Chain A
Amino acid sequence: MDETTNEPLIGVSVILKGTNSGTITDYNGKYTISAETNSLLVFSYIGYTDVELVLHADDDLYKRVFMREDTKELEEVVVVGYGIQTKASLVGSISALKGEELQKVRNVTTVSEALQGMMAGVTSVMVDGKPGADDAQITIRGNSSWQSSDPLIMVDGVERDMNDVDPNEIESLSVLKDASATAVYGVKGANGVILITTKRGTKEKPKISLTANFGFKQPLTHPEYTDYVTAMHLWNEGAVNDLAYSSLIPESTIAAWENAYATGNIGPYNQYFPTIDWYNEIIRPVSLSEQYNLNIRGGSEFMKYFTSIGYLHDGDVYNTQKTDMFDPAFSYKRFNWRANFDFNITKSTTLAINLAGKQGYRSQTGYRADGNNENDDAFGQERFFKTLYNAPRNVFPIKYDDGYYGVSSNAVQSDNLFLLFELGQRIYKYNQNFIDVSLKQNLDFITKGLNFSGKLAYNAESNAQTRLQRYSGGNFGEVAYIAYYREWDYTQILPGGGYALKREQRSPTDDPEYQGRIPLAAYDNLLDGGYSNKLYYELALNYTRSFDLHNISLLALMNRNENNMLKRNSVSEMDYEYKDEAWVTRMTYNWNERYLAEFNGAYTGSYKFAPGLRFHFFPSYSIGWRASEEPFIKNTMGSYLNNLKFRYSYGIVGYDRYANPFTYIQLYSNDGGGINFGKDVTTSYGPLYTEGSAANINATWETAYKQNFGIETKIFNRLTGSFDLYSENREGILMSVYVPGWFGNTASAGNIGRTKSRGFEIELAWQDNLSKNWQYWIKGNYSFNENRVVFRDDPAYLSEYLKNAGKPIRAAYKLQNIGYYESLDDIFNYTTPNNKATQTLLVPGDLMYLDYDSDGVIDMNKDKIPQKYNSFPRVTYGWTVGLSYKSIQFSAMFYGVSQIYKEVDGSVLWDMEYGNNGIYSANTDAPGRWNAANPSDATKPSIHVLSQNRGYSMIGGTTFSFQDASYVRLKNLEISYLIDRSILNRAQLGINNIELYVNGNNLLTFTKFNRQLDPEGSSVSVYPMVRRFNFGTRVTF
């Protein structure tokens, strides 16, 4: 029974300690169990403290047991920098998650994506859906520097990538936000820190857990177009606007198409009236992903262990076909393994050894990439993915009746998406291995509460690629297959049906001897910068002790990093060794857990800077007051006010990550090359020597001055909440100091940039029982952050509105759209385009822009004005609602961002985007264009078809193309069912429990943004972002 309500509890497990036998209480809270005298019964129930009961011979046969709701929350420990602290005594601003909560997101492939909407102050943005390259970009408390906002990420106390950690291995995740929490990381900590701790063994008998997820995914958005007849009519309208009368489509052609549509004589393989919906042809209705994990956790007094192996496979949304030589599909396969051991060598000595790693295989089709860098495929990637949106749909069939592929007259093979998959395959292989060894020696024999620990960690990573390709370097998709462009004369119907051939063009060459199928070339090599090894070691002294009501702890620690890696653009040459060193201390004091004080300090050094500027001391000071512990409050409000804490911190943290090493030395480089001279015989003179960028002996890291004020509370044992208010001044941002052209060399870097930022975060959670069986909870978080550039070397005589200072970091500057030119009078009376030649190309219905500086011309630099919002959200929020009935659980998580604007890609914003290539294509909103018949309701400007005519009105960088990209999305929806233990026991399978669940990600999105684009990724040039459906099970033995 519940201790306070006296209500019976249903489903409490009653187990004989040390055995498997036990039972569960029924609907009336009753249970029956047969046990011997003096045996120990354990009653456990979720949300309640376990109760142990020894059966005595003279006990009543009816044993009434009262259980108390678990209020351990405040005694819970939170992982902080270089240690752990109890929640009650925490004075830093830290958000923490349990590993289970991350697993709840189930089917996302990276930890960074799983963090979306989970915690206040953490912004996670997905930009690409490509399997294996779909990690989200994480920012903690927004941007405070234009150089880098990447947080420091530590896995088990060592800097490592978090995205390839299997969520099943994660015990907890902490996000350190204020200076109190991050100052111990000194020169690395200014952008916040994420700490991931992996699971460790227990002293219990082995618990085996098996998880399996099967998922389906599909793209979130797809292109939408008008039918071809409408597009051709619109084309003709645009051609008239542009006076391009020679480009008019003959009415006979349009009539033929109209007839074809009417009779249904169209289709992707119809050679006269090809009508290809590329999305339908090239995207699978559903594609598969799967994820498995098996882990064993247990141990004894001497040794504890946690071992885990995982496998993930993320499939392709593209409908690629495997050939006998290669598989062009996009996919990612990843194996994870981990074994964490703890040995109690002596009573006072423990040794921990972690062995972990992963092997990932990322595969993609062989579109052009320059160089050996996996990230270097920007050009090829953009061309490739954009094709889904802009490939011609009515110019050629996928294949002609004679079996040849179709392409357009410009003979760019990328026109036909199927040919893109004939280019080959690239496989990236990522191997990482981690070893951590740490030793902890209790030094109670010196003084009680003292211990010493040492740690050694080694990472090795090598990344390689295999390329199988059909093209040789050079141009994108140069040569793969023979394809034809065929143009028909729709006025000449042939006797047997069909039309006379007007023009035929064979590509890639009209040489009939050429048979295509360039043989496959294979390359196998390390990626640029594809090898690294990192050594980390740490020594620490810890002292924790309570004297009466005075609780103190002291930490003294030193660590070093030594990183060796290949040079960024090299597969053979090692870079200079990266080194840093830190001396860290923390002192905490509290009186009776009521008055709290903490000091953190790090004396950290970076090899990048000149002697004397390498080391710096970063301190932070924080105080806390747990008002709820004050007797006068406890006595009056203690019955419902479970916790009320105020805390404040101030501290200084640094950031050196983006700084180039050795800028303090003036260097000359050997160019290698030489100069050729001679009369008729070449003689080479060299090598040449070049002066490097101007040195700056004073270069050092940037410094953040952070303040944080927070309130934490818990009321009625049901509502927990926290509120944080913070501000930060960032100074000494290392940036290149402007030098004029006549300086003749690149500028040196100087610590001159300054910014400020501020914001607040709210986290609230409510949890209650509706009745015995019904439980519900609501959790939400909301964060607001804004920033301003204070100083960024703006030119002195630059107009104020164009200066960086006073604007947000990476402020958006756009031409202000003020409507349409309604008449020729408008065009010639209103301000002229900067390029005067363009003025004569304008037509009524083109966009009109504000001449902000009133100089009579629209200047693409001076008339672009700063916008209130930019492409980084100022507000992010998330909320989860959950409901459970007995062992059925339902939860829904929403995630949203607002106060964000983004550019809409031209290919979904404008019509006839590829008009110059003879592609007639209009978006579904094209009927809303300005036209003379309907000038007042226009939703977009007049159509142009020639690129020189499009260049003024149909462009990006205006308030017309820069649109509100706020959204709210149903990030995760799940129903799960935990199979009753009593049922399982009856089946005698040795299974503890089975959990079954169905869930989905990104199921609904509410946004005002262009619906052909996902507001988060907002690009047509990346692998489509996906929606996932998933079902899975977790079985525990």
Chain B
Amino acid sequence: MEKKYNIILIILLTLFSCESYLEKNPDLGLSEDEVFSSFFSTRGYLDKVYNCINDFSFWKNQTANRAHVGQMSDEAANPYGFTQITNYINKGIWLNSAVSPETGWSTDDVGSNLGRVIPNAFLALRISNRIIEKVPTMSILSKSEKEELLGQAYFFRAWFYFEIIRRVGGMPIFDKVLSTSDNMDMERKTYWESHLWVIEQLDQAIELLPHEWLDSELGRPNKAAAYAVKEMAALYAASPLMCNPLDKIENNGYDVEKAKLAAQYAKECLEYVETNVPAHKMMPGGANYKYIFYHSPNFVSDESLWYINSAGAYRRQGAGGTPDIHIFWLTERTGGAGNYGQANVSISQNLIDKFQTINGYNAILTPTGWESNDPTFDPINPFDNRDPRFDAFILYPGEQYGNYANGSPNYVCTWEGGADVEPAVPPGSTVRTGYQVKKWLWPEAVKLDKPNHNDALLYYYNCVHIRTTQVWLDYAEAMNEAYGPTTVPAGYTYSSVDAINKVRARVGMPAVKIDLTTDATRFRNVIRDERAVELLLENHRWFDIRRWMIAESLFNMPSPIKGIRAIPSDATQLKPNPGNVFTYQLKDVPEELRVFERKHYWYPIPQEEANRYINFKQNPGW
């Protein structure tokens, strides 16, 4: 009996340590101390920011789903009906569309190139802030390791903060890692105050970053990248939209003093490249011009200053899948089904009109037909003798480009009755404007009947945020606003006109006609058109038409996006033959909405945030 008691007693006693029974050393993850215990793990924490960079050349970027940012501006049209850009952004419904690319604040997929740009930027700022807080206190790091980490962190602070303010306007200074107990209802700064913080970060970055990384680390920002972001940010800060206070949106033109600063920074950037990293100067034009956009064996072309290094990832989708260049750029004529069933980006006639003739004249398609002052312009062959960049960037109706697998030539079948437009393909697959994109598409990639072929992997292309040519264009714009088209102030070598002509000369275009360079206002349009052509689909036009505050006037009309109707003399021909002559008409693309009011110049902060915070003010009009 006694024994029985004892057993029960012992059992009960051994069970008595409740808390420790539930103590489970959770083998779940790492603590903060573990992450910041070595250079490699600290860098592994920082490097997450590279996944946050807006990858606008990726077809699923920001879960945009086959929509390109150019489709928000007047650059391009997209027939694919299931994109947030079509259904929310271009309808002007920005406020509660958390999942929309560009404007949305949804944190779905945050931390990857599928995440929306603003939440990704907030995450990247948090990471950078933590690096800047932690690294100086880490005694195990050498000086060079600290500089390497801090240089990048300052750069990313600037870049991602700039990504936010150029979309939403001035922000509070996010210079620390927020904790849940912090006050989240911070006062917003003006754009200029915010901009100054960007410049501060970039000056730090320029100090710390190397001239060049080792080849194996090519893709991290270097000094040139910091210089380039600095001049780009400064040009933005001088632009009409950014010169507004927080509670107003008015167009009072550029701020001359700020434009001077922008010009100076651009000059410094170009001089820095010239002296220290001359390899990154503007690349030669001519036949090699196209290799700025796709290249081999190098992953990145030389004139790229700030970019995402695709580093050999061919931008395949799925294992063994077709390179996704096809998803963006080329129709596969499979009846509109699947990922390769349609070209998702077709260039608008609006942009085509900005490509001059080789002699420097405009050639415009009007409701009554082609108009050009160029005596050599031929309305029957309107795409001959154009700016060489037209040939490098654009596929026009009837153009022969690439082959079928059996060697027979492929034609761009976007004429009336052609295979890439209705009724041969359903509305969701039709090439709405008649034009397609060649800029990132080498002819070998075109083998319609064999999408999974190695020729589609001949070259690399990547997502370039700033290339040297842009710095020249930025310089030209800033100089024109600061000093006028032709003035060369002391300490400067090039006027605004010189800079533009340099960009034109590179591709074989003549200098700008003298009568256009007489005053800043006139020349402003030349600069803007030059920029639209050179930087086509490089994620600039949308921001440019906003900072110049011209979006309202571009879009405030029925059917702002235009296309071309190419009517063959013999509609039964599946491809153009010598006797098949096209006539051209301007056409509306009424499906391409661009609802844009004054309030749309700034993206709204989400209603949820606006409902919660009073100091963190909503943008005007939302």
Contacts and interface: CB of A to CB of B under 8 A. Distances in A.
| A and B from one complex | yes
Contacts of B309: 676-678
Contact of A742 (B29, B51, B184): B184
Interface string A651-689: 000000000011001111111001111111111011111
Interface string B371-392: 0000000000000000000000
Interface string A633-652: 00000000000000000000
23 contacts: A410-B337, A410-B426, A411-B335, A576-B28, A581-B22, A662-B28, A666-B32, A667-B31, A670-B30, A678-B218, A679-B298, A685-B217, A696-B180, A739-B184, A740-B613, A744-B126, A745-B123, A746-B107, A796-B612, A834-B93, A836-B595, A837-B91, A947-B81
Contacts of B27: 576
Contact of B218 (A580, A583, A679): A679
Interface SS of B by simple majority: loop
A692 B609 contact: no
Contact of B30 (A579, A668, A686): A668
A802 to B, nearest CB: 8
B317 to A, nearest CB: 11
Contacts, number: 211
A560 B21 contact: yes
Nearest to A692: B29
Contact of B15 (A558, A670, A682, A694): A558
Interface in B1-49: 1, 8, 11-12, 15, 18-19, 21-24, 26-32, 34-35, 41, 43-45, 47-48
B606 interface: yes
Interface string B169-195: 001101000111000101000000000
A748 B614 CA distance: 23
B607 A738 contact: no
B19 A605 contact: yes
Interface string A430-472: 0000000000000001000000100000000000000000000
Contacts of A743: 122, 126, 178, 180, 184
Interface string A903-937: 00000000000000000000000000000000000
Interface of B: 1, 8, 11-12, 15, 18-19, 21-24, 26-32, 34-35, 41, 43-45, 47-48, 50-51, 81, 91-93, 96, 105, 107, 111, 118-119, 122-123, 125-127, 130, 171-172, 174, 178-180, 184, 186, 213, 215-220, 297-300, 309-313, 335-338, 426, 593, 595, 605-614, 616
B55 to A, nearest CB: 13
B612 A797 contact: yes
A615 interface: yes
Contacts of A581: 18, 21-22
A65 to B, nearest CB: 49
A71 interface: no
Contact of B41 (A579, A689, A692): A689
A675 B119 contact: no
Contact of B22 (A475, A606, A683, A738): A606
A677 B180 contact: no
A680 B299 contact: yes
Interface of A: 410-411, 445, 452, 475, 505, 539, 558, 560, 576-577, 579-581, 583, 605-607, 611, 614-615, 661-662, 665-671, 674-683, 685-692, 694, 696, 737-748, 795-798, 834-837, 860-861, 947
Contacts of A605: 18-19, 21-22
Contacts of A837: 91, 593, 595
A689 B21 CA distance: 31
A555 to B, nearest CB: 15
A452 B8 contact: yes
The 8 tightest CB contacts between A and B, nearest first, are A744-B126, A795-B611, A676-B311, A667-B29, A677-B219, A679-B215, A682-B312, A795-B612
Contacts of B22: 579-581, 605-607, 614
Contacts of B105: 741
Contacts of B47: 674-675, 685-686, 688
Contact of A795 (B96, B216, B338, B608): B608
The residue in A674, A678, A746 that gathers the most chain B C-beta atoms within 10 A of its C-beta is: A678
B230 to A, nearest CB: 23
Contacts of B220: 677
A689 B122 contact: no
A744 B19 contact: no
A835 B18 CA distance: 60
A797 B611 contact: yes
Nearest to B220: A677
Contacts of A691: 45, 126-127, 130
A677 B217 contact: yes
B24 A740 contact: no
Nearest to A661: B26
Contact of A690 (B19, B32, B111, B217): B111
Given A615-B18, A689-B44, A837-B593, A607 B614 contact: no
A696 B611 CA distance: 25
A489 to B, nearest CB: 15
A665 B26 contact: yes
Contacts of A678: 215-219, 299, 309, 311-312
B334 to A, nearest CB: 8
Nearest to A537: B15
A220 B463 CA distance: 56
Contacts of A797: 610-612, 614
Nearest to A541: B8
B612 A683 contact: no
Contact of B126 (A615, A661, A745): A745
Given A576-B28, A668-B29, 5 more contacts: A411-B335, A679-B300, A682-B299, A689-B44, A742-B178
B146 to A, nearest CB: 18
Contact of B180 (A606, A679, A685, A739): A739
A680 B297 contact: yes
Nearest to B606: A741
A861 B219 contact: no
A685 B43 contact: yes
B215 to A, nearest CB: 4
